[in-house]
Amino acid sequence: MKKVYHRIIQISGNVITVEAEDVPYNSLAEVATGGRVSLAQVIRLDRRRVSLQVFAGSRGISTDSEVRFLGRPMQVSASPDVLGRIFTGSGSPRDRGPRLRDDLIDIGGPSVNPARRIIPRRMIRTGIPMIDVFNSLVESQKLPIFSIPGEPYNALLARIAMQAEVDVIVIGGMGLKHDDYLFFRNTLDAHGALARSVMFIHTAADPVVECLLVPDMALAVAESFAIGGKRVLVLLTDMTNFADALKEIAVTMEQIPSNRGYPGDLYTQLAARYEKAVDFEGAGSITILAVTTMPGDDVTHPVPDNTGYITEGQYYLSGGRIDPFGSLSRLKQQVNGRTRNDHRAVMDNMIRLYADYRETREKLAMGFRMSGWDRKLLQYGERFEARMMDLSVNIPLEEALDLGWQTLAECFQPAETGIKSDLVAEYWPGGTEAATAKDGNGTTPA
């Protein structure tokens, strides 16, 4: 195979076409233009015409630029040295560290055999009550954080990264503002979490093709650590930028768009990434949390819509809090029966009462008179928001459950909570006497 070609016959968008022979599909090439070298990937073969997607973009490429075929697919280093390092979407160091050339693995590897998957069974504690108590995160789960632009989703991700009980954190940033990138780096550094993290960062100023590589790079490294027995948490932000990059490339490639300009394989493309979340029997696991910003707060927009069909629930970030109604962890039932015996009861009843509080708030806003029950709910709702929903709250699950009981006891009679009496006897602050003494008039209001 001749390696170097000099005649580029077409340049269109980020795609160049060169006449060459014996080039493997999906393999890489280096395109050299006036001293600058960029990677490119073969995306189409048509007899002698080879179309390549240039990662750094086609700007400045001349028709006699040098194209050197490498004959191998995109690879990333999965050596332990990646920990503490920061890379670009194409795998070049973004920090001042050396380029890594050990333990190179192909990105975008094959799918896990469904027959080798197991039912998820371990909870990941985050110290955030809205997650731990109400929508537990489970190892091997894939969950998006649905959010509108402006919400503190990156702050939330950074907090989860610092607090989650995992061995390795892989952060994939797509279309990240440079400020956000610095925020991630500085926060992890300040909390000593950088040493167990690896970051692949594509900023908004970088070439769009590199954005497409970020999830694959991050997940390939994660997979390698997981097979080595590590519990890996992958944080991706923002998958809507990834989808928009897909759209941009697809339109450049003159593909027929399906819905609002997105390519017809958007679902498959997203699923290929999210389905990397897995629990390897006898080895480690990959858990994925991915920010998906919803343009116009519209959950039916193609990106959140397709994501919702793929993922196992979602955290819905709204008004600076994780909204208890829009959020759902489909896997929580697998774990919250085995944490503490009051976990499910506290979860269900606190949420139900909080829903009642929301209704009362509406009545209040419409000027209806407040009953005694309404006033109890108002008191409860305010405390619930301050103690549970505020994102700065950082307490272990058990403490959060205790705080839940305390909040209930401050606001209600035991029977008004709707919690089974044996649990009330066990957990009600002040003991059973306090609970039963009040039981006389404790009817549950409608």
Partner 1 sequence: MDDGEHDGTFGMTTERKLGEVVGVNGNMVTVAFDRHVIQNEMAYVVVGETRLKAEVIRVRGEVADLQVFESSAGARVGDKVEFTGELLSVMLGPGLLTQVYDGLQNPLPELARQAGFFLRRGLYVTPLDEARPWEFTPAVKPGDSVCAGAAVGTVPEGIFRHRIMVPFGWPGHWRVTWVAAAGAYPITAAVARVSDGREERAVTMVQRWPVRVPVTAYREKLLPVETLVTQQRIVDTFFPVAKGGTFCTPGPFGAGKTVLQHALSRYSEADVVIVAACGERAGEVVEILREYPELEDPRTGRKLIDRTIIICNTSSMPVAAREASIYTSVTLAEYYRQMGLNVLLLADSTSRWAQALREMSGRLEEIPGEEAFPAYLESLIAGFYERGGLVRLHSGETGSITIGGAVSPAGGNFEEPVTQATLKVVGCFLGLSRDRANARRYPAVHPLDSWSKYPSLSDADDLAFARRILQRGHEVDQMMKVVGEEGTPLADFALYLKSEFLDAVYLQQNTFDAIDGATSAARQKASFRRVVDVLRTPFLFADKDEARSFFQRLRQLFTDANYLPMDGEKYQALDRQTAEFLTAAKKEA
Considering only 10, 92, 268, 341, the residue that binds partner 1 (CB under 8 A) is 268
Considering only 215, 302, 324, 404, the residue that binds partner 1 (CB under 8 A) is 302
Say how far apart CA 378 and CA 287 lie, in whole Å: 37
Query: Which two three-digit tokens encode residue 120?
Result: 């998820």
Considering the rule CB under 8 A, would residue 305 count as an interface residue with partner 1? yes
Contact segment (CB under 8 A) with partner 1 among 104-112, 167-175, 195-203, 400-408 equals: 104-112
Say how far apart CA 45 and CA 395 lie, in whole Å: 56
Considering the rule CB under 8 A, would residue 17 count as an interface residue with partner 1? no
CB 145 within 8 A of CB 292: yes
Question: What Rg value do the Cα atoms of the chain yield, rounded?
Answer: 26
CB 251 within 8 A of CB 261: yes
Q: Please say which residue, 26 or 163, places its beta carbon nearer to partner 1.
A: 26
Minimum CB separation of residue 43 from partner 1 in Å reads 8
Peptide bond into 238 cis (omega under 30): yes
Considering the rule CB under 8 A, would residue 91 count as an interface residue with partner 1? no
Minimum CB separation of residue 195 from partner 1 in Å reads 28
Nearest to 144 by CA among 333, 307, 325, 302: 307
Peptide bond into 356 cis (omega under 30): no
Considering the rule CB under 8 A, would residue 441 count as an interface residue with partner 1? no
Q: Could you tell me if residue 91 is left (phi over 0), alpha (psi between -120 and 50 degrees) or otherwise beta?
A: left
Say how far apart CA 122 and CA 135 lie, in whole Å: 14
Considering the rule CB under 8 A, would residue 119 count as an interface residue with partner 1? yes
Contact segment (CB under 8 A) with partner 1 among 80-88, 114-122, 238-246, 415-423 equals: 114-122
Q: Please say which residue, 173 or 304, places its beta carbon nearer to partner 1.
A: 304
Partners of 171 in beta bridges: 199, 235
Total residues at interface with partner 1 (CB under 8 A): 55
Minimum CB separation of residue 437 from partner 1 in Å reads 26
Considering the rule CB under 8 A, would residue 365 count as an interface residue with partner 1? no
Considering the rule CB under 8 A, would residue 300 count as an interface residue with partner 1? yes
Minimum CB separation of residue 426 from partner 1 in Å reads 24
Considering the rule CB under 8 A, would residue 113 count as an interface residue with partner 1? yes
Exposure string for 394-414, b = 16+ CB within 10 A, e = fewer: ebebeebbbbbbbbbbebbbb
Considering only 2, 34, 46, 64, the residue that binds partner 1 (CB under 8 A) is 46
Considering only 22, 98, 372, 441, the residue that binds partner 1 (CB under 8 A) is 22
Considering the rule CB under 8 A, would residue 416 count as an interface residue with partner 1? no
CA angle (16, 172, 253) in 5-degree steps: 25
Nearest to 143 by CA among 15, 265, 288: 288
The site map against partner 1 for 189-228 (x = CB under 8 A) is: --------------------------------------x-
Considering the rule CB under 8 A, would residue 116 count as an interface residue with partner 1? yes
Q: Could you tell me if residue 33 is left (phi over 0), alpha (psi between -120 and 50 degrees) or otherwise beta?
A: beta
Q: Looking at residue 96, what DSSP letter applies? A: S
Residues near partner 1, by CB under 8 A: 21-27, 44-48, 73, 109-120, 227, 255-259, 263-265, 267-268, 271-272, 275-276, 280, 300-302, 305-306, 308-310, 312-313, 325, 328, 331, 446
